[in-house]
Chain A
């Protein structure tokens, strides 16, 4: 279970109110896309879910328990950039979480424990389609591969909630379509709730089970300072998308790749793989 309950959340920076009156319940295993114009506080909202920032007022409960005031292993994250560690190879990046949890002082695994961890890391690397790149450093990977790596790294911890901050924003369309399919598959196969911030409406409606829009209801220059953004639209996708259940419609009406055709990462077959 991983249900998020957000009640009457406010965020202020000094006099500037960024978010106000945000209340939201995210069901377990939902895939929520947060959309809205630049500067409307959707990334701030995500950072509060992450624990990187604290709300000025209001509460966030994860499975009924208030979130701790700092990031932790129950919430995974993929940022648009800097999500992977440049000094570690692909394998090292994916192993890192295991090493942190298994070895308190050295943060390094040795011997059998290491071999076992490597096995599961390799599985995860295969899962995101990076087999063969285990010994490469992030600087040797393309943008899309780096984001795949970031996903693998986060998923190793089996987080309850996966937070994505415009994770695919910097990728070109063909690669983005491929990583969308991967993201969908991972969402179906794992037990996690996903919250994704995106600029891309198509992406939001392609992936999410629920699309939430943040906006400033009062946006005149003199009002900007004292009125924050809040949830203005809350759209559940119809027909409902449920994690782990194949869509009734095949190919998916919102199939991520329908019109994109041949890009340099090869043909992107349309339709959702159940």
Chain B
């Protein structure tokens, strides 16, 4: 049989799915064991016991200085920033994106402007944000918004423009005003895309969040990683990175489930 026709069974699928993860863990374990054999105090590749100890210290024992459970307080601080940033971006993107997609006047006014703005490297703006808005939460959230919103606006405007003209004409023949069309025809059809769009922007949003936290903060996952870097505390950094990845993966999954539950037709369209 040709390779393109060979399909794995369910069990094989699961094995194949897990294989790369297991390989990475094994490769790490071997490397770690070798280094620790050479030098028991090696800090670069700690073993599982080292990780368990660090995780226990960060997640389940209060910090001796502040009394906080650091992993959780860091996660809380980071997630609040992340979701505030994403929430504001989503709202802006929805309003402006739909306006650009639907109204030729708004398109002429805003489309080129947004296109130019989206070319500005957000990290280059970070110093300006720190100077103007101070070192608090505002500047970090603003960085996420500036980094993520223009792309989302363009994506949603494109999606609104892509709706077949026939649908808009049909709505007009049903007597709809522009507002009614926005509400009942365009909005419901781009909401699934909005969720996908948020999903795709999760990566960049985390990037900007960690960058902002690394430079100036007193809590947050990014802050912690860059803080303990000074002590070569790989036993803390690795679990934090895994934890961040896990958070991103779970958010990703939840957003997909949300889309399918709330907009069952969007999945049908894909199949059909």
Contacts A/B (CB < 8 Å), 28 sampled: A51-B172, A52-B165, A71-B172, A71-B173, A72-B172, A77-B170, A81-B166, A83-B166, A85-B170, A85-B185, A85-B189, A86-B268, A86-B269, A87-B266, A88-B265, A96-B171, A96-B174, A97-B175, A100-B176, A104-B177, A104-B180, A137-B264, A139-B265, A139-B269, A139-B271, A139-B272, A153-B170, A156-B174
A133-159: which have CB < 8 Å to B? 137-140, 150, 153-154, 156-157, 159
- Chain A CB within 8 A of B120 CB: no
Number of B interface residues in the complex (CB < 8 A):
28
Q: Is B179 an interface residue (CB 8 A)?
A: yes
User: How many whole Å from B245's CB to the nearest CB in chain A?
Assistant: 34
Docked-complex contact B180 and A107, CB < 8 angstroms: yes
Instruction: Name A22-80 residues within 8 Å CB distance of B.
Output: 50-52, 70-73, 75-77, 79
Lowest 7 A-B CB distances belong to which pairs? A73-B175, A71-B172, A82-B164, A97-B174, A139-B268, A82-B166, A139-B272
- Check B188–A87 contact: CB distance below 8 A: yes
- Residue pair B170, A107 in contact (C-beta under 8 Å): no
For B188, list chain A residues within 8 Å (CB): 87
Residue A101 at the chain B interface, CB threshold 8 Å: yes
Give the shortest distance, in Å, between B176 (CB) and chain A (any CB).
Answer: 5
Residue contact A140 to B268, C-beta cutoff 8 Å: yes
Q: Measured between alpha carbons, how far is A138 from B265 in the docked complex, in Å?
A: 9
Please tell me if B184 contacts chain A, counting CB pairs below 8 Å: yes
User: How distant is the Cα of A82 from the Cα of B3 in the complex, in angstroms?
Assistant: 38
Contacts of A139 in B (CB 8 A): 265, 268-269, 271-272
CA distance A100 to B184 in the complex (A): 9
B269 touches A72 (CB 8 A): no
Q: Does A254 contact B (CB under 8 A)?
A: no
**B167 at interface (Cβ–Cβ under 8 A)?**
yes
The CA-CA distance from A83 to B172 in the complex, in Å, is 12
B30 within 8 Å of A by Cβ? no
> Contact: B164 with A107, CB < 8 Å?
no
Is A99's beta carbon under 8 Å from chain B? Answer: yes
- Provided the pairs A99-B184, A107-B183 are in contact, do residues A72 and B175 lie with their beta carbons within 8 angstroms? yes
Interface size on A, residues (CB 8 A): 39
Q: By the criterion CB–CB under 8 Å, are B173 and A72 in contact?
A: yes
CB distance from B262 to the nearest CB of A (A): 11
Asked whether any CB of chain B lies closer than 8 Å to the CB of A105, the reply is yes
B183 and A86 within 8 A (CB): no
Chain B contacts for A73, CB-based, 8 A: 173-175
Residue of B nearest to A92 (CB): B184
Q: Is the interface of A mostly helix, strand, loop or mixed?
A: loop
Q: How far is the CB of B25 from chain A (nearest CB, A)?
A: 42
- A73 and B174 CA atoms in complex are apart in Å by 5
**Chain A residues packing against B (C-beta within 8 Å):** 50-52, 70-73, 75-77, 79, 81-88, 96-97, 99-101, 104-108, 137-140, 150, 153-154, 156-157, 159
The verdict on B169 contacting chain A, using a C-beta distance below 8 Å, is yes
Q: Which residue of B lies closest to A73 (CB)?
A: B175
Instruction: Tell me the chain B residues, 169-208 only, with Cβ under 8 Å from chain A.
Output: 169-177, 179-180, 183-185, 188-189
Is there contact, CB below 8 Å, between A71 and B169?
yes
- Contacting pair B175 A137 (CB below 8 A): no
**A106–B182 alpha-carbon span in the complex (Å):** 11
Of chain A, the residue at the smallest CB distance from B191 is: A87
Which partner residue on chain B sits nearest A163 by CB separation?
B173
With most chain A CB atoms within 10 A of its CB, the pick from B172, B174, B179 is B174
Q: B81: shortest Cβ distance to chain A, in Å?
A: 33
B189 and A87 within 8 A (CB)? yes
Cβ 8 A contact of A70, one of B172, B185, B269: B172
